[in-house]
Amino acid sequence: QIQLVESGGGLVQTGGSLRVSCAASGGIFSTYPMGWFRQPAGKEREFVAAISWLGGSKYYADSVKGRFAVSRDNAKNTLYLQMSSLKPEDTAVYYCAARPPYSSGNSYLGKEYRYWGQGTQVTVSS
């Protein structure tokens, strides 16, 4: 089964940019639809973005649309989340997750994701 490891989190100022990555191993990465979720301290986990297994379809939460961009490099077994115009409310632990191989479309539902990384902290200072 696939294993996921996030990296690239850190501290950034309001209005800044940051790219987080998710390295996959143990599975055929190109067959897994992927997603990004985040969980602010003391709050529920929320959907951020999703991308289909070939990368042709992407879906975003309204709160990040136009500011965040999800992409994947199947040759490098890596998922990315490019974050721009960051706001303090973007502060959270960011998780990547994978749905079962060849699942169709995109999903914002956490319960449809079978595999999860350990998360990386992103902090946006005001």
Is a pLDDT exceeding 90 seen at residue 106?
no
Q: Coil, strand, or helix at residue 82?
A: strand
Q: Please determine, for residue 105, whether its predicted confidence score (pLDDT) is greater than 90.
A: no
The better pLDDT of the pair 90, 55 is held by: 90
If you average pLDDT over residues 118-125, what whole number do you get? 98
CA distance between the termini of the chain: 40
Token reading at 20:
């987080």
Residue 104: predicted pLDDT: 87
Average pLDDT of span 74-103: 97
Structure tokens at 70: 């999800």
Residue 29 CB neighbour total at 10 angstroms:
24
Partners of 10 in beta bridges = 122
List the structure tokens of 37: 């979720």
Residue 57 has pLDDT above 90, yes or no: yes
Question: What percent of the chain is predicted at pLDDT more than 70?
Answer: 100
